[in-house]
Homo-oligomer: A and B are copies of this chain.
């Protein structure tokens, strides 16, 4: 079982008091260089390892941050997590992960994180924060940062959806399209609403009038409509309604765009020759299917989330901050831009 060497052993071997040992190990200044060296040498010789939990108990802080993330969303959070991980380990904190497979687990995980002294802060991802938890959270004063979701009560890091939609739509317009449709998710989702706004604004500022017939906002589809089937069905509706098929589509997520493209090619439309498509998210998949899309700076969002959290920890009364990142346009083949310019 590991070393079992304590500071008492070191103190004895180095003929000093335990206080001095502790000071050396924590780089406290008031120790003479000679004593410092003697203690350090002994520590190394005995292969001393501090006992994490004794430290945490005595120091009254956990050096731990817990992240509550939905495991069913996949793509997005995994990249954010990379940023979180890098920053967190750079700061010497530990990351305890509560992966939510089922929305009912949220409460129990929050409670666990709330155990006295257990974690110094929480990162809460992508899910609606349960109302009944908000007051509890506020009471305990445990620092928390929301990522990819919002609440007026807590700091948050998210993405400028409207702005991204604006850029995506503008890109299509600048490629010469005057008839740009949108395939959206359901308007119960905040991002969906914002992306629609961005789309409208882009049309407007380019002097194109908005036409409701060119927009499909996911209907009674299961979940929030951010899925492949929803995209597929949206296109099928266009065709079945006999409405005019736009020459270009802004689709509110990459995964829906997959469905859109599948439906289009099934019906004999070539992408991008007949219909251009731009998605949103830049999930891993997008690269493989050469989808032009709006990239969210997921890694940086993770890094910033941790930075914000530690700032909040050392400064509990700081004003609440909401940061939104700007997505960037990633041009691949599905929008037709490359073909036009290159070959």
A residues sitting closer than 8 Å to B (CB atoms) are 1-4, 49-54, 56-57, 62, 64, 71, 74, 78, 81-82, 85-86, 89, 94-99, 101, 105, 109, 114-118, 140-142, 228, 258, 284-285, 288
**What residues of chain B lie closer than 8 Å to A288, measured between beta carbons?**
228, 258, 285
**What residues of chain B lie closer than 8 Å to A56, measured between beta carbons?**
53
> Are B115 and A99 in touch, CB under 8 angstroms?
no
How far apart are the CA atoms of A49 and B89 in the complex, in Å? 28
> Are A116 and B51 in touch, CB under 8 angstroms?
yes
A-B contact pairs, 22 of them (CB 8 A): A2-B114, A2-B115, A2-B116, A2-B140, A2-B142, A49-B114, A49-B115, A50-B115, A50-B116, A52-B115, A52-B118, A53-B53, A53-B117, A57-B57, A71-B85, A78-B78, A85-B101, A95-B98, A95-B99, A96-B96, A228-B288, A258-B288
Known contacts A78-B78, A284-B74; A141/B1 CB under 8 A: yes
**What residues of chain B lie closer than 8 Å to A64, measured between beta carbons?**
96
**What residues of chain B lie closer than 8 Å to A71, measured between beta carbons?**
78, 81-82, 85
**What residues of chain B lie closer than 8 Å to A4, measured between beta carbons?**
116
**What residues of chain B lie closer than 8 Å to A49, measured between beta carbons?**
114-116
A1, A52, A57, A118 — which one has the most chain B CB atoms within 10 A of its CB? A52
How far apart are the CA atoms of A101 and B1 in the complex, in Å? 29
> Are B228 and A1 in touch, CB under 8 angstroms?
no
> Are A140 and B228 in touch, CB under 8 angstroms?
no
How far apart are the CA atoms of A89 and B68 in the complex, in Å? 13
How far apart are the CA atoms of A228 and B285 in the complex, in Å? 12
How far apart are the CA atoms of A85 and B1 in the complex, in Å? 26
> Are A82 and B62 in touch, CB under 8 angstroms?
no
Majority secondary structure of chain A interface residues (helix, strand, loop or mixed):
mixed
How far apart are the CA atoms of A2 and B82 in the complex, in Å? 30
How far apart are the CA atoms of A78 and B74 in the complex, in Å? 8
> Are B53 and A62 in touch, CB under 8 angstroms?
yes
Instruction: Kindly report which residue of chain B lies nearest to residue A97, judged by CB atoms.
Output: B97
> Are A96 and B99 in touch, CB under 8 angstroms?
no
- Give min CB distance, A281 to chain B, whole Å: 14
If A53-B53, A89-B98 are given as contacts, then 14 extra A-B residue pairs at C-beta distance below 8 Å, sorted by A number, are: A2-B114, A2-B115, A3-B116, A50-B115, A50-B116, A51-B117, A53-B57, A53-B62, A53-B117, A71-B82, A74-B284, A81-B99, A85-B101, A95-B96
> Are B98 and A96 in touch, CB under 8 angstroms?
no
> Are A86 and B101 in touch, CB under 8 angstroms?
yes
How far apart are the CA atoms of A287 and B213 in the complex, in Å? 31
- Give min CB distance, A298 to chain B, whole Å: 12
**What residues of chain B lie closer than 8 Å to A141, measured between beta carbons?**
1-2
- Give min CB distance, A116 to chain B, whole Å: 4
> Are A99 and B117 in touch, CB under 8 angstroms?
no
- Give min CB distance, A87 to chain B, whole Å: 11
How far apart are the CA atoms of A296 and B294 in the complex, in Å? 32
- Give min CB distance, A166 to chain B, whole Å: 28
How far apart are the CA atoms of A258 and B288 in the complex, in Å? 8
How far apart are the CA atoms of A71 and B99 in the complex, in Å? 16
Instruction: Kindly report which residue of chain B lies nearest to residue A108, judged by CB atoms.
Output: B89
How far apart are the CA atoms of A101 and B117 in the complex, in Å? 29
How far apart are the CA atoms of A2 and B105 in the complex, in Å? 22
- Give min CB distance, A249 to chain B, whole Å: 18
